């Protein structure tokens, strides 16, 4: 939630007769092109990379974030169900801001992981059940700008430790989890490939019972790996899904800078199914019912941003590239004005180039085919 992103949201804020906000201070407008897609899933997850601590506010600047409490119900309104509060920005507003964020998260309808009233609590999986499938969620961070964790019995973020992570996964399985999802803040910023430390951690976690790892922190996309575990599962790790929305690379201008300068405006929504399969009775006659990952798909995203040169009225929005391409092509076919047609053609060139840039990192086989 960079300042310019929040400013863009505020421009969409609808006010009532008494001046009260009618739409969560405008935050849903940031996601107006993706909210139907987010709501279409049974469970939708995001990394919450900002404190939500208006009372403890010490100010914001580059690399120091904060956001209004209206942001959490806005996230729930546009379709999010689960967030992780384990990343390098959790202490941007100090320990008071961290605790206030916990208060606000606990008062929201969102399930959150990676933080708790004690260190032990921050390492306990949260369980959600949808369509008869029990899903365990965990979150941790290997990276902190300021690690202000205090005593083990005080409010705490889950600072990643492999042994503790594996113990948490084992406990989640023992509690009945059929699928374990682990959110991890890790890696090196702006690198489009994971480091060996991240690969090693990912393989150890998946061997230890994790089915899906959702990675973030590099701010650019990294590959998605499908991994065969020793116990016969097919696990998935998305080393980094890039940025969902931010003000990074606001200066990027298609056609004048190389494609990699726009990497921080590329993103991926990782979409997949959880399928419960009955394999019939085992050798001892007991049922063999397993929940497996299926239909893994990467949905390419792009952040539109005109704030460079429009600081007073920035328009920052996340768009689904494939849907936007389809809509823009339809608009072009109907457009009669030459200058407007030229702008639409340029838009198609931009979106096509960003889709190809995403394919260059994650591979074409992960993305759906373009609509006819």
Q: Does some domain include residue 84?
A: yes
**371 in any annotated domain:** no
Complete DSSP assignment for 306-367: --TT-TTS--EEEEEHHHHHHHHHHHHHH---HHHHHHHHHHHHHHHHHHHHHHHHH-GGGS
pLDDT for res 309? 87
Tell the residue number behind the tokens 């009260």, with chain if given: 20
> Which residues, 6+ apart, have CB-to-CB distance to 275 below 8 Å?
291, 292, 293, 294
In a domain, 73, yes or no: yes
pLDDT score, position 118: 98
Q: So what's the pLDDT on residue 362?
A: 97
Distance of CA 52 to the CA centre of its chain: 17
Distance CA 1, CA 46 (A): 13
What burial class does residue 228 get, using C-beta atoms within 10 Å of its C-beta: 0-12 exposed, 13-18 middle, 19+ buried? Answer: exposed
Tokens of 48: 């919450």
Give the domain range for residue 349. 3-366
Q: Does residue 372 sit within a domain?
A: no
Nearest to 87 by CA among 218, 211, 238: 218
Q: Are 321 and 33 in contact (CB under 8 A)?
A: no
Tell me, yes or no, whether 305 lies in a domain.
yes
Q: Does 319 fall in a domain?
A: yes
User: What are the backbone angles phi and psi of residue 48, rounded to the nearest 5°?
Assistant: -90, 95
pLDDT number for residue 360: 97
Structure confidence at residue 343 (pLDDT): 96
> Rounded to an integer, what distance in angstroms lies between the CA atom of residue 104 and that of residue 48?
13
pLDDT recorded at residue 268 = 98
For the chain, strand residue ranges (E) read: 45-47, 82-84, 111-113, 115-116, 126-130, 133-141, 156-157, 179-185, 212-216, 224-228, 234-238, 266-281, 287-305, 316-320
Structure tokens at 251: 């200066």
The β-bridge partners of 184 are 140, 215
Residue 352 lies in a domain: yes
Total of domains in the chain: 1
Residue 147 included in any domain: yes
8 Å CB contact between 21 and 14? yes
What would the two tokens of residue 57 be?
Answer: 């506010």
DSSP state of 159: B
Q: Which helix (H) or strand (E) holds 101?
A: helix 94-106
What CATH number does the domain containing 10 carry? Answer: 3.60.21
Residue pLDDT tens, the chain, 372 long: 999 999 999 999 999 999 999 999 999 999 999 999 999 999 999 999 999 999 999 988 888 999 999 999 999 999 999 999 999 999 999 999 999 999 999 999 999 999 999 999 999 999 999 999 999 999 999 999 999 999 999 999 999 999 999 999 999 999 999 999 999 999 999 999 999 999 999 999 999 999 999 999 999 999 999 999 999 999 999 999 999 999 999 999 999 999 999 999 999 999 999 999 998 888 898 888 899 999 999 999 999 999 998 999 999 999 999 999 999 999 999 999 999 999 999 999 999 999 999 999 999 999 998 876
Sign of CA dihedral 209, 212, 215, 220: positive
What pLDDT does residue 287 have?
85
Sheet holding 287-305, edge to edge: 266-281, 287-305, 316-320
Q: Check: CB of residue 31 under 8 Å from CB of residue 38.
A: yes
Token pair in block for residue 352 = 């096509």
């Amino acid at each position: 939630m960079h300042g310019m992103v929040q400013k863009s949201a505020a421009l969409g804020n609808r006010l009532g007769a008494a001046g009260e906000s009618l739409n969560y201070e405008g935050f849903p407008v940031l996601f107006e092109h993706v909210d139907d897609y987010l709501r279409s899933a049974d469970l939708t997850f995001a990394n919450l990379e900002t404190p939500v601590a208006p009372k403890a506010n010490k100010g914001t600047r580059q690399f120091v974030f904060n956001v209004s409490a209206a942001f959490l119900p806005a996230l729930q309104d546009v379709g999010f169900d689960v967030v992780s509060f384990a990343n390098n920005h959790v202490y941007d507003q100090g320990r008071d801001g961290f605790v206030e964020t916990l208060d606000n998260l606990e008062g929201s309808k969102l399930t959150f992981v990676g933080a708790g009233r004690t260190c032990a609590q921050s390492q306990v999986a949260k369980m959600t059940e949808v369509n008869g499938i029990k899903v365990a969620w965990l979150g941790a961070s290997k990276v902190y700008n300021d690690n202000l964790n205090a005593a083990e019995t005080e409010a705490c973020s889950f600072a990643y430790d492999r042994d503790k992570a594996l113990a948490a996964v084992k406990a989640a399985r023992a509690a009945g989890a059929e699928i374990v999802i682990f959110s991890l803040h890790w890696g090196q910023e702006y690198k489009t490939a994971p480091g060996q430390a991240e690969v090693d951690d990912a393989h150890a976690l998946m061997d230890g019972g994790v089915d899906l790892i959702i990675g973030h922190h590099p701010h650019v996309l990294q590959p998605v790996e499908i991994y065969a575990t020793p116990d016969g599962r097919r696990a998935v790790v998305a080393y980094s899904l890039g940025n969902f929305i931010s003000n990074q690379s606001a200066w990027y201008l298609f056609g004048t800078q190389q494609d990699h300068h726009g990497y921080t405006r590329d993103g991926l929504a990782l979409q997949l199914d959880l399928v419960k399969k009955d394999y019939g009775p085992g050798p001892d006659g007991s049922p063999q019912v397993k929940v497996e990952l299926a239909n893994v798909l990467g949905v390419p995203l792009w952040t539109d941003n005109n704030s460079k040169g429009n600081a007073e009225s920035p328009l920052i929005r996340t768009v689904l590239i494939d849907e936007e391409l389809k809509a823009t092509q339809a608009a072009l076919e109907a457009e009669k004005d030459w200058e407007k047609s030229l702008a639409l053609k340029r838009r198609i060139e931009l979106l096509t180039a960003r889709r190809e840039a995403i394919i260059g990192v994650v591979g074409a086989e992960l993305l759906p085919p373009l609509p006819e």
